[in-house]
Structure 1
Amino acid sequence: MKWSAGGTIRFQVEGVVVRTEITWGSEESTSRVMVNQPFSY
């Protein structure tokens, strides 16, 4: 059985939107940081 889990935090610092994502899975893990793109995938 494959599994995955993750979380996202979105916050604003001095007018700049910062989004961080961390995901873990049975096959791989990833992390991302996006600046001024709060709804990009």
Structure 2
Amino acid sequence: MLEVRSLGIDGVLEIVPKRHGDARGFFMETYNAERFSQAGID
């Protein structure tokens, strides 16, 4: 899952990936077209 935060500057967003891990290592989603579209990112 990606968290999209507004930084208070018009048109500037911070995209923060959630890191999921276990003994084998970690995974994080770095791209999600649907989530970006919801946030107004083309």
Per residue, is there more helix in 1 or in 2?
A: 2
TM over 0.5: no
TM superposition score normalised by structure 1: 0.32
Higher strand content, 1 or 2: 1
